[in-house]
Amino acid sequence: MDCIFCKIARGEIPSNKVYEDDQVLAFYDLDPQAPVHILLIPKEHIGSAVEITPQNSGVVAHIFEVAAKLARELHLENGFRLVNNCGKDGQQTVQHLHVHLLGGRSMTWPPG
């Protein structure tokens, strides 16, 4: 499948990895929007948050577990933000489910 994050998960496109296990990969975003900007993806292809089902939601929970571990390791004690952009209105640009871990600065609300 011609999916850039599937290719990253398979190691066919290089990425700056911060964490990997059999289910999840985390790597630095190419265009960082904060001092810490990591993407967490399931290795299996899930197109977006609307494709989360009882059958695949375990990996989504695992993504949040890995995000918490990375936030602790990266000393984001002041807090951080986990973001999922979904679909056209959500400004999703890569059609493979991913969670942004953003930290190292104070965020604004509401997002634009």
Size of the site for Zn ion (CB under 5 A): 5
Q: What tokens were used for 76?
A: 């984001």
Binder among 2, 12, 31, 77 for ligand AMP (CB under 6 A): 31
Nearest distance from residue 37's CB to ligand AMP, in Å? 7
Residues 50-89, one symbol each (x = binds ligand AMP by CB under 6 A, - = not), give -----------------------------------x----
Peptide bond connecting 42 to the previous residue in cis, omega within 30 degrees of 0: no
Binding to Zn ion by residue 49, rule CB under 5 A? no
Is 23 within 8 Å of 17 (Cβ atoms)?
Answer: no
Of 35 and 58, nearer to Zn ion (C-beta) is 58
Binder among 36, 63, 70, 96 for Zn ion (CB under 5 A): 96
Sequence-ordered list of residues with C-beta below 8 angstroms from that of 95, at least 6 positions apart, any chain: 3, 47, 48
| Spatial distance between the Cα atoms of 94 and 102, rounded to a whole number of angstroms | 17
**Catalytic residue list contains 45:** no
Of 1 and 54, nearer to ligand AMP (C-beta) is 1
Is 83 within 8 Å of 102 (Cβ atoms)?
Answer: yes
Q: Point out the residues that are catalytic.
A: 98
